[in-house]
A and B are shown apart, each in its own frame.
Chain A
């Protein structure tokens, strides 16, 4: 075998893809179909709460096409970072969708389920043994952050995927995963170069984002050879160019030459990108530098409080000119009225049209707009306290008297009744560290299931 073809339908499971592109991929006889199902980009809420940031109906739609195609072509289907964050509840959520699809389409397959959530007890032991290390720019792990995190996941490398495939898994459903590992595992099992497989995976995990015009909702095929790989977008309206592929190497990374991951660093200092034909780019020269000891990235999120927001606008020029003093006055009124809550809430005013998008990073500090969008936000230890602070700040700001005020009936335009929205639990990332392991699979327990239960029979 001189080539492995890896089909990536979409950048995140649930982001969708045109079936025509997917069929074009199947027509090229892929050896494996793989998808990344998550990200930390949507923020800590999803890991902390156990909910998915992707929509169930959309995830099921994408998985349906993938699972049916995988069985039709008799090739493995790999899913990493199931449910968006890859903790136990996310994995269970995605597993239920897999089971439903298997039943609906009478699919038979051997399923491997790989857990990535690590028990508190296990982590506390490793913490005490000094095996958990900082990941710059973050500092040392605080025991309290570990203890208070609702879920901590480890980002698995390709070894658990390889182990699942070696055991005959036809569908691999994994918790939190290093994105390139989902795509690189099968080629490495087949004896292909680890560095090239990982680098190809790094690009494929974003599907057609590396093409031009780019899209995270369209399919890409990777062709891995012995000393290079090629990338072809499967929608004829897109092409890969040296610039589009090289530029993607920059995306979301600190340093485009050295990309650290589980077990080592992908080294792109000698990588070359060539235009193979009008729509295909060829990549070669990527290296892998193994690390000793092998480290796994940990991610954990803990509850930070409860949020209530109120959305409003202002159109009065005097109010807009004096908005900073008015906010200061409102803060003082809230503090004075609820002295028992002192130090137990955060009150935030977001001013769109001034510095709502960039906050302190905004170089233009004077509003140039004739209107301001305002979000009044309270975060407190309970939902009731957040409601109280937000509600009182909103009514105070609405009727606040300031020097030069002409519009004495009210300062704010509310688009909605009710004006305040309970946004529920707020989480924050509390663990973002490395743990040293002796064996790359030791933190990731795996179980196998014959779907739909009895092979060869249908429900």
Chain B
């Protein structure tokens, strides 16, 4: 058992608008085995997303496993709508940073 960071297990970690009012995160894992283990261990949860982004749990809309893409997707309410005065990322494409820092115990 060792500590690994999420980027070591994933080939894609990204964020993007899902419409003007939602921000969605995709983690696409390197292999089906990794995806299945991460999904089975419930590592990516609404609670984790809320903690990473310092937002209330009710702002996390969903965390969905999508086996065909060996991916886990999380969607949150945008702090401000796309392009509102004060918004800092109109396309929402640079909000994935905290996911790169997630550490977990890994069995290989």
Contacts and interface: CB of A to CB of B under 8 A. Distances in A.
Interface in A419-459: 426-429, 432
B64 A257 contact: yes
A408 interface: no
A149 to B, nearest CB: 14
B22 A42 contact: no
A137 interface: yes
Contacts of A255: 62, 64, 73, 75
Interface stretch (A116-124, A240-248, A331-339): A240-248
Given A255-B62, A379-B85, A428-B83, A247 B69 contact: yes
Given A256-B66, A363-B52, A432 B85 contact: no
A356 B55 CA distance: 18
A252 B17 contact: yes
B22 A247 contact: no
A124 B73 CA distance: 38
B83 A44 contact: yes
B71 A250 contact: yes
Nearest to A357: B94
Nearest to A304: B85
Interface in B5-55: 12, 16-22, 24, 26, 28, 52-55
A18 interface: no
Contacts of A137: 21-22, 61, 77
Nearest to A247: B69
* Highest count of chain A CB atoms <10 Å: which of B12, B68, B73, B95: B68
Nearest to B91: A41
A426 B16 CA distance: 22
Interface string A27-41: 000000000000011
Contact of A43 (B24, B83, B97): B83
Contacts of B98: 361, 363
Interface residues of A, number: 44
A427 B86 contact: no
Interface string B68-100: 111101010101011111111111001101100
A346 interface: yes
Contacts of B94: 357-358
B82 A43 contact: yes
A126 interface: no
Contacts of B53: 361, 363
A403 interface: no
Contact of A249 (B16, B22, B68, B70): B68
Nearest to B18: A254
B26 A251 contact: yes
A253 B54 contact: no
A40 to B, nearest CB: 5
A305 B83 CA distance: 13
Given A137-B77, A251-B16, A42 B26 contact: no
A359 B53 CA distance: 10
B85 A44 contact: no
Contact of B83 (A45, A249, A432): A45
Contacts of A356: 88
A383 interface: no
A312 B37 CA distance: 47
A138 interface: yes
A45 B90 CA distance: 11
A361 B99 CA distance: 12
Contacts of A138: 21
Contacts of B52: 363
A247 B28 contact: yes
B69 A428 contact: no
Contact of B82 (A41, A273, A360): A41
Contacts of B68: 242, 246, 249, 271-273
Nearest to A42: B90
A361 B18 CA distance: 17
A246 B19 contact: no
Nearest to A48: B83
A269 to B, nearest CB: 10
A432 B20 contact: yes
B85 A252 contact: no
Contacts of B95: 357-358, 361
Interface of A: 40-45, 137-138, 242-243, 246-247, 249-257, 271-273, 304-305, 307, 346, 348, 350, 356-363, 379, 426-429, 432
Interface of B: 12, 16-22, 24, 26, 28, 52-55, 61-62, 64, 66, 68-71, 73, 75, 77, 79, 81-91, 94-95, 97-98, 101
Given A41-B82, A358-B89, A363-B98, 11 more contacts: A43-B82, A43-B83, A45-B83, A246-B66, A252-B16, A253-B18, A256-B66, A304-B84, A358-B97, A359-B88, A361-B98
22 contacts: A41-B82, A42-B91, A43-B20, A43-B87, A43-B90, A44-B20, A243-B70, A247-B69, A250-B66, A250-B71, A252-B16, A252-B17, A254-B62, A255-B64, A255-B73, A256-B73, A257-B66, A348-B85, A348-B86, A361-B98, A363-B54, A427-B83
